[in-house]
């Protein structure tokens, strides 16, 4: 495993020795007295100068979080304080969330990073107080009379370091906001603080490099058009080898009915590519008239983890391309934060999409009225509708070699409310599905620990700690129901859960929902299939076996 994470027994020992959720003794201390310590495994490398220059971002330089001097630009205090003021004017959410917290503590043990680190500053309430304490300093009247009364403090370089540390130990998953009696959403605060930090050049290369790539090439991985096509075509060959069916995706084709957009991880990364193969099989199976764009070749949006303007800039490509190609509507692949952006931001930022039509499934005739303005449908909604109307020929036995559980991705769960569609699909494509414990699924789902651009290798210890609650829930169904397959509908999950499982629950593999759909689809003209899409032998379909229907 990575050199940036302690061995599992060491981490387990820590939990055994300090079984309390809050780790450490803070009896004589206040949280603001506790220094910030950057060490191997708990921070992400900063944005490279060329990336910052490419994006026109502030303060390009060579630095590391472990440096004493972060080389903040002259007048950085004013930049931050003006930046905060202007955001307070633009966002009622920010102002309200800074004003209304009563520190009741309901959120304290809801954060996966807190449960994994036991660090008091990872309690959502304290995370927000990191900003709130500075915000309150702008109203120092009471403070002057009664020092320490309202817990306010000056903006210093130490505060910036603390922000950098703890607003990169928040994955904007919104779990705390479910439990908050005022709905205070730490994701909102984290988004704002990351914007502020970017103004003074305090940043994360694992976020900014994909942002810059996406701007230039159309996708986070920086895949240029010809390579993008090549990659998908190699998947097409794999599909033909495995199934004997030649699927025929088209690229940048004008006049297609549907534009399909999915995270580029599905095109390039393992195990995302198997999910991509699932999509391709599905579209071929139903004869969908669709095209894939090399220009709008990214569903995900790391702009969301940078600034709202950047989110808008990267997202704008989807509508721009849909308009150019003259499609009727857009179909979106499996991704978490992509769907937060599409569901809650896209139409507001880059709409109205009046050049598109209300999405109608060409196979079932279902009008997706819930997407009548944004005109973009989630693939799980689309497939669930197909299955409901009996339009797919499925053999769930082909997934009998997998015992599955389902991980609700944070953004799809708490920023969209899509719980039943993927479950409906999953139940119809496999025979063994067991839910994780109730407090760890649906709206209470736990993040993979690497969301919102924290998936960097050098951040491994944080990721394994942040993912601990999720991994632990998987472990429980693994022990109880022999679950060995974790199914998700998120590209970041598909990238981040495999190392998490390898660390905490060896033997559990990670699947995209549509990979299982692809396994189960009985294609017209297919050859006898003995293996699934990743060439693992399917139970009951082995060579020579005779129990195929």
Site string for other proteins, 82-121 (x = CB under 8 A): ------xxxxxx-xx--xxxxxxxx-xxx----x----x-
Among 65, 125, 258, 520, binds other proteins (CB under 8 A): 125
Rg (CA), the chain: 24
Alpha-carbon span 81 to 79, nearest angstrom: 6
CB of residue 548 vs other proteins: minimum separation in angstroms?
31
Comparing CB distances to other proteins, the nearer of 20 and 69 is: 20
Q: Which of 25-33, 163-171, 482-490, 524-532 is the region at the interface with other proteins (rule: CB under 8 A)?
A: 25-33
CB of residue 505 vs other proteins: minimum separation in angstroms?
12
Alpha-carbon span 283 to 521, nearest angstrom: 11
Among 2, 6, 15, 362, binds other proteins (CB under 8 A): 15
Comparing CB distances to other proteins, the nearer of 133 and 203 is: 133
CB of residue 255 vs other proteins: minimum separation in angstroms?
11
Among 440, 452, 459, 505, binds other proteins (CB under 8 A): 440
Alpha-carbon span 338 to 263, nearest angstrom: 8
Residues 307 to 336 in contact with other proteins, rule: CB under 8 A: 308-309, 312-314, 316-317, 320-321, 324
Among 305, 329, 468, 503, binds other proteins (CB under 8 A): 468
CB of residue 12 vs other proteins: minimum separation in angstroms?
5
How do 376-378 and 404-407 pair as beta strands? unpaired
User: 238, 527, 521: which is closest to 397 by C-alpha?
Assistant: 521
Q: Is 360 in the site for other proteins (CB under 8 A)?
A: no
CB of residue 378 vs other proteins: minimum separation in angstroms?
8
425 touches 383 (CB < 8 A) = yes
From residue 303, give the alpha-carbon distance in Å to each of 165, 263, 282, 299, 392: 19, 14, 30, 12, 36
Among 193, 276, 384, 429, binds other proteins (CB under 8 A): 384
CB of residue 61 vs other proteins: minimum separation in angstroms?
25
33 touches 190 (CB < 8 A) = no
CB of residue 198 vs other proteins: minimum separation in angstroms?
15
CB of residue 473 vs other proteins: minimum separation in angstroms?
8
- Order of strands, edge to edge, in the sheet holding 404-407? 404-407, 485-488, 509-512
Among 345, 406, 503, 511, binds other proteins (CB under 8 A): 345
Comparing CB distances to other proteins, the nearer of 107 and 402 is: 107
CB of residue 105 vs other proteins: minimum separation in angstroms?
5
Residues 268 to 287 in contact with other proteins, rule: CB under 8 A: none
Helix axis angle for 157-166 and 124-136, nearest 10°, is 150
Alpha-carbon span 169 to 334, nearest angstrom: 24
> At a CB cut-off of 8 Å and minimum separation 6, what does 37 contact?
none
User: ∠134-139-140 over CA atoms, to 5°?
Assistant: 90
Judged by CB under 8 A, how many residues of this single chain contact other proteins?
121
Stated as kind and residue range, the H or E segment containing 414 is: helix 410-414
Among 11, 196, 197, 516, binds other proteins (CB under 8 A): 11
CB of residue 166 vs other proteins: minimum separation in angstroms?
14
Q: For residue 271, say if its preceding peptide bond is cis, omega within 30 degrees of 0.
A: yes
Residues 194 to 233 in contact with other proteins, rule: CB under 8 A: 215-216, 218, 224-226, 229-230
Residues 43 to 72 in contact with other proteins, rule: CB under 8 A: none
Residues 227 to 266 in contact with other proteins, rule: CB under 8 A: 229-230, 251-254
Read off the tokens for 444. Answer: 């209470």
Q: Is 31 in the site for other proteins (CB under 8 A)?
A: yes
3 state SS of 486: strand
Alpha-carbon span 460 to 1, nearest angstrom: 9
3 state SS of 373: coil
Comparing CB distances to other proteins, the nearer of 425 and 460 is: 425
Comparing CB distances to other proteins, the nearer of 31 and 45 is: 31
The DSSP line for 76-107 is HHHHHHHHHHHHHHH-HHHHHHHH------TT
Comparing CB distances to other proteins, the nearer of 259 and 533 is: 259
Q: Is 399 in the site for other proteins (CB under 8 A)?
A: no
User: 230, 329, 238: which is closest to 288 by C-alpha?
Assistant: 329
């Amino acid at each position: 495993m990575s050199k940036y994470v302690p061995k599992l027994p060491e981490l387990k020992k820590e939990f055994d020795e300090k079984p309390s959720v809050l780790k450490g003794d803070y009896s004589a201390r206040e949280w603001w007295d506790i220094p910030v310590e950057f060490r191997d495994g708990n921070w992400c490398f900063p944005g490279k100068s060329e990336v910052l220059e490419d994006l026109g971002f502030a303060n390009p330089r060579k630095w590391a979080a472990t440096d004493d001097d972060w080389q903040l630009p002259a007048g950085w205090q004013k930049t931050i304080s003006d930046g905060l003021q202007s955001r307070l004017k633009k966002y009622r959410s920010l102002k309200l969330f800074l004003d209304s917290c009563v520190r009741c503590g309901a959120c304290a043990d809801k954060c996966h990073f807190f449960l994994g680190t036991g660090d008091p500053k990872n309690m959502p309430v304290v995370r927000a107080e990191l900003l709130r304490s500075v915000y309150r300093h702008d109203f120092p009247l009471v403070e002057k009379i009664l020092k320490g009364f309202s817990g306010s403090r000056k903006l210093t370089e130490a505060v910036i370091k603390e922000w950098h540390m703890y607003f990169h130990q928040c994955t904007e998953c919104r779990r705390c906001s479910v439990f908050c009696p005022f709905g205070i959403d730490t994701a909102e605060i984290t988004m704002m603080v990351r914007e502020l930090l970017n103004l003074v050049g305090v940043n994360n290369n694992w976020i900014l490099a994909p942002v810059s790539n996406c701007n230039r090439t159309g996708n986070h991985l920086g895949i240029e058009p010809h390579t993008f096509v090549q990659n998908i075509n190699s998947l097409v060959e794999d599909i033909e080898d495995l199934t004997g069916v030649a699927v025929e995706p088209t690229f940048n084709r004008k006049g297609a009915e549907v534009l399909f957009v999915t995270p580029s991880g599905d095109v390039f990364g393992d195990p995302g590519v198997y999910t991509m193969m699932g999509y391709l099989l599905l579209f071929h199976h139903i004869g969908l008239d669709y095209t894939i764009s090399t220009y709008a070749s990214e569903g995900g949006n790391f702009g969301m983890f940078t600034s709202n303007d950047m989110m808008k800039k990267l997202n704008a490509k989807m509508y721009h391309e849909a308009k150019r190609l003259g499609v009727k509507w857009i179909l979106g692949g499996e991704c978490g934060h992509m769907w937060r952006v599409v569901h809650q931001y896209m139409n507001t930022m880059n709409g109205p999409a009046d050049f598109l039509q209300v999405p109608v499934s060409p196979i079932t005739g279902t009008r997706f009225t819930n997407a009548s303005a944004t005109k973009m449908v989630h693939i799980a909604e689309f497939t669930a509708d197909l299955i409901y109307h009996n339009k797919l020929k499925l053999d769930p036995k082909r997934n009998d070699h997998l015992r599955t559980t389902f991980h609700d991705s944070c953004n799809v769960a708490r920023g969209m409310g899509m719980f039943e569609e993927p479950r409906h699909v999953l139940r119809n494509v496999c025979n063994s599905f067991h839910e994780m414990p109730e407090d760890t699924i649906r709206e209470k789902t736990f993040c993979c620990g690497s969301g919102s651009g924290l998936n960097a290798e050098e951040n491994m210890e944080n990721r394994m700690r942040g993912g601990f609650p999720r991994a632990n829930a998987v472990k429980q169904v693994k022990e109880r129901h022999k679950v060995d397959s974790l199914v998700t509908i998120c590209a970041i999950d598909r990238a981040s859960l495999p190392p998490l499982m390898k660390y905490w629950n060896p033997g559990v593999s990670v699947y995209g929902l549509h990979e299982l759909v692809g396994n189960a689809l009985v294609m017209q003209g297919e050859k006898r299939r003995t293996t699934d899409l990743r060439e693992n032998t399917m139970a009951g379909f082995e060579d020579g076996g005779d129990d195929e229907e």
